[in-house]
Amino acid sequence: MNILMYLRELLLNNNLIQQEIDNRIYFYKVGENTDTSKTFIIITPVDGEPSTFVSDKYLSETFFVQIDVQSSKYDTSLKVANRIRKILWANGFKQEDKEFNEHFEETKKYVLARKYLGIPKNKYYKGELVE
């Protein structure tokens, strides 16, 4: 399963995320020529492994991802990060560990990074539906 595209689609289906982020969701890192003047999201997969075993096969995968929200306004970073947490919670992911919350003077950006662990809700694996 392409967890990056799954999460991107999940987030872009939300009105607040669409309004604040538009299509500025990047994977792993932001390119050198990317306009970072507006709020954006970076999704980085940390780990993925088979789970929910039946006999000799697995029916699902558990994913561990980091999602960073970067904005020039702290309130915007917080609002978007909290909405992401709500969306992911409703879809089988929970926040893990502590969050990274920092302002970088050189980029003038507030960065809120959170890690999430979960099994994507209602997805097919190996021909089986996992709910």
Structure tokens at 32: 């050198």
pLDDT of residue 128: 54
- CATH code of the domain containing 60: 3.30.2000.10
Domain holding 126, by residue range, is 3-130
Average of per-residue pLDDT values in the chain: 88
Number of domains present in the structure of the chain: 1
How far, rounded to the nearest angstrom, does the alpha carbon of residue 85 sit from its chain's CA centroid? 9
Predicted confidence band of residue 131 (pLDDT cuts 50, 70, 90):
very low
Please name the residues in contact with 115: beta carbons below 8 A apart, sequence gap of 6 or more.
Answer: 46, 64, 65, 66, 67, 95, 96, 97
80 vs 107 pLDDT, higher one:
80
Give burial (CB, 10 Å; 0-12/13-18/19+) of 106. exposed
